[in-house]
Structure 1
């Protein structure tokens, strides 16, 4: 059976779905919203990028950060950009497996803000 096809009353088979990826792993796109981190930067350039990127990052759009911040050869920004997504994936997977978070069973648009999208896809608080 395809992962997107469900039979009424059947228990969810899969934890990892498109909605799981969108709302639990890449919250605010890759790097899990570095815009919040950039807001606290002492550099005027990074701080202004954070201000510009804060609203789009709430809707999982992170291009202002990716294109505006110097990610190449910058370990301070590169490390959270690369390693945040797998860490969030492991945490969210086990939280779902242990029943702390419901399994995602509704496909919500990826641009829905993460807390609202997570609620819509799991129908749990």
Structure 2
């Protein structure tokens, strides 16, 4: 899919805003929490914010490629599914999101390269 110049800049700006807000929101909630007398209500919301944002970004990233793999054939679909399973498996075993993502991407790359 080829983007026009204007759409490419719009996409880059959107990604920049999403990245900024995923990094800045916990700090903003921490400042709000310090000013309020009820810190428990906002600390539980801020604690759920990180995993929720990661899950939302993951779904938005994986779904278009997965739909394309379903339309293309079984080899890309198998690469996607095995990569997702390996990512979840490594995350459950080691509790390290960075290692899990690198493992899933590595397996996806190997299977895509072989297939």
Global fold match (TM > 0.5): no
Higher relative contact order (CA 8 A, sep 6+): 1
Mark the structure with the bigger radius of gyration.
Answer: 2
Higher helix content, 1 or 2 = 2
